[in-house]
């Protein structure tokens, strides 16, 4: 109630507490729908992995698990820097907040850069599903599967691109938002009493990271390496 | 009240949300939930009549047995256009978008929804989606049926599947944002004293609806994405040639699209609870059960999707379980119907237009619901799958029930929305016309389907003609019934009798402020100290004007 007349208070809320509670609940609700959004893809993945496990295992060897692991570390660190950013915002350290947020963006960009390298490699090796996919004989040789399993290999790579692509799009949406927050924070928009946008974006960023924590073993680590 | 109010003519308040600002910009950039509701009203009405024209073309073609008006291809595009427009751009968004948007903040004593700008964004998402779909329909049409079944939609159809898919994706985003906004608003924005069990059932129904919107819509969104990836980039999720499973699409599709029916019907049930209580002058019978049954329908709705797939080669055990759970949906649905009728019992029932619609709803919903049990039964469902029996069944629920409730609600809250009364005589006449026209249109289709006439064909054997002519005749009556309210609603906005703040009179906070309400809804923040639907006390003067 003490901040009832803060400039951050929107007209239809009684006080900042109600406003913050609403925003946080809204973001959690948004994350719930995101889980269902990714959930559809995870279901498709689960069914086809169960159905064609051998092929999925064989194809999984064509992802570079070292790059995947490195990217996992990069993302976990970006979650840490994001958390530090939220913490700094809660303490009212506007420059530190901006710095942590920029660091988060740098780490996110490194992740996306590695992803570009991986995708390029898939294009070069004709592992992108569709008419340019390896013809059956070559696929059998390259992926160590039966020629008749080429279609199932395409399923694996369809899922790889759809799942990591959707994840990457979520990061690409996140980065400009974090950049905006860093800019706003630098100019002193956030105070210990009002820094909800930083907190909410943090929630979103952590969610996107967690999705990757699931994607990495499911796509890169099928079977032994 | 009557003595005081009857003594002087009611007058419109000097300042209200409609005259607070003028000009196109004041509407297109408004964040007032009441104005956004009216934006929805205009857009869904347009889509309703557009979808109706597709229906008219279908019914015209079916007057005669041979396919003499349209080619098969054109006919495919007609019923697809009808389905896509009506399901995604009318039935799903209408009651939440128009009545929910307008009323939820008023009913809970809030100044607005929790996120007014997101509310406006959801209307723009709707409009963007509508734009894509309209473009797809104009630019050659779409012939997959509204269900987009694979592999036809992914590999074979030569029509605008991706464009329409993008449109539905946007509409879905609009639906998710609306649901999110309602959930947060109902949790966080209630007026002091307005506990969960003092909430009007309209609000409970929208809460249950919002849960489905949040949990179901993302799944159809990602499914559309997969179809687009397969069609546009030759990914292989549903392609049998590569080991993909077209039936998987059906599972994903119905995981949303069955609950989507409850996105349509639950808000409608919420409206009916308000109307029945008000025009029986009684507290709704079994308030807790009616509220809880909304949640039960929302939960059960997620567990019955495969009853759309009994002929798809589903395992018999899976079919048995889905059949059994589908039967369970009848329980919360029947709880509602019995509680409404029990509310009528020994109430002082009056027959203004909204009540005519409410009673019509109950009748049509009973028929639609009971025929749903036919379809949940495995053996019978196999017999009538893909026949006009299905068409009749879901039109009884989705049109008969939902549109009746929407019309009833629109009449009931029209004085609150516009500050003016609609003409009662015309309204009653058109309510009766709609009821008669609807039954004449769709009841013969039950018989047609049972006799074996398949849906989605533009020609049929001669012996089905009499019933088809009855159905087409009913459709023309129904069209007249829908057009009359268009005219008198438009007329009443300028010339209607001016309404008081609480004309019926009814309980609920929305009636405790001026008609039409001011932009901030209430002059003072309302507090609630009485139970819900307390019709035992004489109606009180509006307190928060």
pLDDT tens for residues A32-90? Answer: 999 999 999 999 999 999 999 999 999 999 999 999 999 999 999 999 999 999 999 99
Instruction: With beta carbons under 8 A apart, name residues in chain A contacting B31.
Output: none
Give the gap in angstroms from C-alpha B33 to the nearest C-alpha of chain A: 11
Q: Helix B33-61 and helix B465-495: axis angle, to 10°?
A: 150
Give the gap in angstroms from C-alpha A129 to the nearest C-alpha of chain B: 5
Residue B531's nearest CA partner among B508, B515, B514, B506 is B508
Chain A interface, best mutation among B118, B154, B227, B234, by max A CB count within 10 A: B234
CB contact under 8 A, A22 and B218: no
Give the gap in angstroms from C-alpha A163 to the nearest C-alpha of chain B: 11
Q: Is the pLDDT of residue B336 over 80?
A: yes
Residue B203's nearest CA partner among B283, B301, B340, B105 is B105
What local confidence, expressed as pLDDT, does residue A4 receive? 43
Q: Name, in order, each residue with C-beta under 8 angstroms of B227's C-beta and a sequence gap of 6 or more.
A: B148, B150, B153, B154, B161, B165, B238, B249
Residue A124 burial (10 A CB sphere; 0-12, 13-18, 19+): exposed
Residues (pLDDT < 50) of chain A are 1-4
Residue corresponding to tokens 């005081």: B4
Q: Is the pLDDT of residue B2 over 50?
A: no
For chains A and B, what is the number of CB pairs under 8 angstroms? Answer: 118
pLDDT digits over B271-314, tens only?
A: 999 999 999 999 999 999 999 999 999 999 999 999 999 999 99
Q: Report yes or no: B107 and B202 within 8 Å, Cβ to Cβ.
A: yes
Helix, strand, coil percentages, rounded to 5, for chain B: 70, 0, 30
Residue B2's nearest CA partner among B502, B509, B536 is B502
| Reported confidence tier of residue B1, pLDDT bands at 50, 70, 90 | very low
Give the gap in angstroms from C-alpha A154 to the nearest C-alpha of chain B: 7
Nearest by CB: A47 against B111, B214, B248: B248
Instruction: With beta carbons under 8 A apart, name residues in chain B contacting A134.
Output: none
Task: Judge if ipTM > 0.85.
Answer: yes
What local confidence, expressed as pLDDT, does residue B459 receive? 95
| Reported confidence tier of residue B542, pLDDT bands at 50, 70, 90 | confident
What local confidence, expressed as pLDDT, does residue A8 receive? 83
Chain A interface, best mutation among B244, B256, B519, by max A CB count within 10 A: B244
CA dist B151 and B153 (Å) reads 6
Q: Name, in order, each residue with C-beta under 8 angstroms of B74's C-beta and a sequence gap of 6 or more.
A: B141
> Domains in chain A, start-ordered, CATH in brackets?
19-220 (1.20.120.80)
What local confidence, expressed as pLDDT, does residue A2 receive? 43
Instruction: With beta carbons under 8 A apart, name residues in chain B contacting A145.
Output: none
Kindly report the CATH class assigned to B36-512.
mainly alpha
Q: Name, in order, each residue with C-beta under 8 angstroms of A139's C-beta and a sequence gap of 6 or more.
A: A133, A145, A147, A149, A150, A153
What local confidence, expressed as pLDDT, does residue A11 receive? 87
Residue B420's φ and ψ, nearest 5 degrees, are: -135, 155
Q: Is the pLDDT of residue B543 over 90?
A: no
CB contact under 8 A, A43 and B234: no
Q: Is the pLDDT of residue B107 over 60?
A: yes
| Overall size of chain B counted in residues | 545
Q: Is the pLDDT of residue B443 over 70?
A: yes
Give the gap in angstroms from C-alpha B533 to the nearest C-alpha of chain A: 26
Residue A70 structure tokens = 């490195």
CB contact under 8 A, B188 and A25: yes
CB contact under 8 A, A48 and B229: no
Q: Is the pLDDT of residue B234 over 50?
A: yes
CB contact under 8 A, A166 and B225: yes
Nearest by CB: A40 against B233, B239, B252: B252
Nearest by CB: A52 against B118, B176, B243: B243
Cα B108 from chain centroid (whole Å): 22
């Amino acid at each position: 109630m003490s901040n009832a007349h803060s400039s951050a208070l929107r007209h239809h809320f009684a006080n900042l507490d109600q406003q913050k509670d609403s925003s946080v609940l809204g973001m959690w609700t948004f994350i719930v729908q995101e889980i269902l959004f990714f959930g559809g893809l995870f279901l498709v993945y689960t069914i086809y992995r169960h159905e064609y496990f051998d092929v999925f295992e064989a194809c999984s060897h064509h992802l570079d698990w070292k790059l995947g692991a490195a990217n996992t570390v990069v993302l976990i660190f970006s979650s840490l820097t994001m958390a530090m950013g939220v913490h700094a915002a809660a303490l009212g350290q506007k420059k530190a907040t901006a710095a942590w947020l920029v660091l988060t963006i740098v780490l996110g960009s490194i992740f996306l850069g590695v992803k570009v390298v991986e995708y390029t490699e898939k294009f070069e090796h004709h592992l992108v599903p569709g008419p340019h996919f390896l013809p059956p004989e070559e696929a059998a040789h390259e992926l160590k599967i039966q020629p008749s399993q080429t279609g199932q290999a395409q399923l694996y790579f369809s899922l790889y691109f759809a799942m990591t692509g959707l994840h990457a799009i979520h990061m690409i949406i996140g980065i400009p938002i974090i950049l905006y927050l860093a800019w706003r924070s630098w100019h002193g928009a956030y105070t210990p009493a009002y820094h909800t946008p930083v907190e909410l974006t943090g929630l979103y960023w952590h969610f996107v990271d967690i999705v990757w924590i699931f994607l990495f073993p499911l796509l890169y680590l099928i079977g032994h390496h | 009240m009557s003595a005081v109010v009857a003594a002087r003519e009611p007058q419109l308040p000097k300042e209200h949300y409609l005259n607070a600002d003028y000009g196109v910009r004041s509407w297109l950039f408004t964040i007032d939930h009441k104005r956004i509701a009216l934006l929805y009203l205009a857009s869904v009405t347009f889509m309703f009549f557009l979808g109706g024209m597709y229906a008219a073309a279908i019914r015209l073609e079916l007057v005669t047995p041979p396919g003499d008006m349209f080619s098969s291809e054109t006919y495919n595009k007609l019923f697809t256009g009808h389905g896509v427009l009506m399901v995604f751009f009318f039935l799903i968004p209408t009651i939440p978008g128009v009545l929910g948007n307008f009323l939820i903040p008023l009913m809970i004593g809030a100044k607005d929804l929790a996120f007014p700008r997101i509310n406006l964004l959801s209307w723009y998402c709707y409009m963007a989606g509508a734009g894509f779909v309209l473009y797809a329909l104009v630019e050659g049409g779409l012939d997959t049926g509204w269900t987009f079944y694979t592999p036809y939609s992914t590999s074979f159809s030569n029509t605008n599947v991706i464009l329409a898919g993008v449109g539905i994706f946007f509409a879905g985003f609009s639906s998710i944002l609306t649901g999110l906004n309602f959930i947060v608003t109902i949790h966080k924005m209630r007026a002091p004293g307005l506990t969960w069990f003092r909430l009007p059932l309209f609000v409970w129904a929208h809460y249950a609806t919002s849960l489905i919107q949040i949990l179901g819509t993302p799944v159809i969104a990602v499914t559309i994405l997969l179809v687009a990836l397969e069609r546009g980039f030759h990914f292989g999720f549903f392609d049998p040639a590569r080991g993909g499973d077209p039936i998987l699409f059906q599972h994903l599709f119905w995981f949303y699209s069955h609950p989507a029916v409850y996105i349509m019907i639950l808000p409608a049930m919420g409206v009916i609870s308000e109307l029945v209580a008000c025009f029986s002058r009684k507290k709704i019978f079994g308030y807790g059960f009616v509220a809880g049954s909304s949640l039960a329908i929302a939960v059960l709705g997620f567990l019955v999707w495969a009853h759309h797939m009994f002929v798809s080669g589903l395992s018999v055990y899976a079919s048995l379980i889905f059949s059994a759970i589908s039967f369970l949906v009848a329980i919360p649905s029947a709880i509602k119907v019995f509680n409404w009728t029990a509310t009528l019992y020994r109430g002082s029932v009056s027959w203004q237009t909204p009540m005519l619609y409410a009673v019509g709803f109950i009748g049509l919903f009973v028929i639609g619901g009971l025929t749903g049990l036919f379809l949940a039964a495995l053996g019978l469902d196999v017999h009538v799958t893909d026949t006009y029996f299905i068409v009749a069944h879901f039109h009884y629920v989705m049109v008969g029930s939902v549109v009746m409730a929407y019309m009833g609600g629109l009449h009931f809250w029209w004085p609150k929305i516009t500050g003016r009364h609609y003409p009662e005589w015309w309204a009653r006449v058109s309510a009766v016309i709609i009821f008669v026209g609807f039954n004449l249109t769709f009841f013969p289709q039950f018989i047609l389907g049972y006799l074996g006439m398949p849906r989605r064909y533009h020609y049929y054997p001669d012996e089905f003609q009499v019933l088809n002519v009855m159905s087409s005749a009913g459709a023309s009556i129904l069209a007249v019934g829908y057009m009359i309210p268009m005219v008198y609603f438009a007329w009443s906005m300028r010339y209607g009798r001016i309404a008081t703040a609480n004309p019926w009179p009814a309980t609920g906070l929305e009636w405790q402020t001026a008609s039409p309400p001011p932009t901030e809804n209430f002059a003072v923040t309302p507090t609630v100290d009485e139970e819900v639907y307390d019709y035992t006390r004489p109606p009180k003067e509006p307190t928060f004007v």
